[in-house]
Amino acid sequence: MESTDGPVLADWPSHRSMHPMTKEQALAGSKMWSLMGLGATVGATFAARKALTTTWKLATGKPPPQNPAHPDVSVAEAVAWAAVSGVAVGLARMFASRKAANYYRKSTGHLPSNLEDVEV
């Protein structure tokens, strides 16, 4: 029986080369990506802060410092809050941006322009 393997998808021309975008389409895509990226990062930041505040209360028995720079907040508590909240929010934003970029790629057939030329 003869093999029915077709061409490898990597050998196919990209979506963009088959259907070049107009300036208007590129601008609309750029605006859509900006809104998606903004919405994803704002939502992720809010969710991470909420989860982190709840976890901090459970772990320490008190709310996190509202302003770690205040002199009445211990240095150890200020450093711990800054480190934990910075890492948590940074990771949440990164994962949300990745998810949004994957959704954008599935919807449009290509990555947003600011991610296309990035070497991995």
Domain assignments of the chain as residue spans, ordered by start: 33-113
Tokens at 53, concatenated: 């505040």
| Cα 111 from Cα 116, distance rounded (Å) | 6
Q: Which of 8, 11, 5, 20 is nearest to 109 (CA)?
A: 20
**Cβ neighbours for 57, distance < 8 A, ≥ 6 positions apart:** 63, 64
Handedness of CA 75, 77, 80, 82 (dihedral sign): negative
Question: Does the pTM exceed 0.85?
Answer: no
Distance CA 81, CA 90 (A): 14
Confidence at 7, pLDDT banded by 50, 70, 90:
very low
Structure tokens at 119: 């070497």
pLDDT, tens digit, 9 for 90 and up, residues 58-113: 999 999 999 999 999 999 999 999 999 999 999 998 998 888 888 888 888 888 87
Q: How far is CA 2 from CA 5, 6, 33, in A?
A: 9, 12, 45
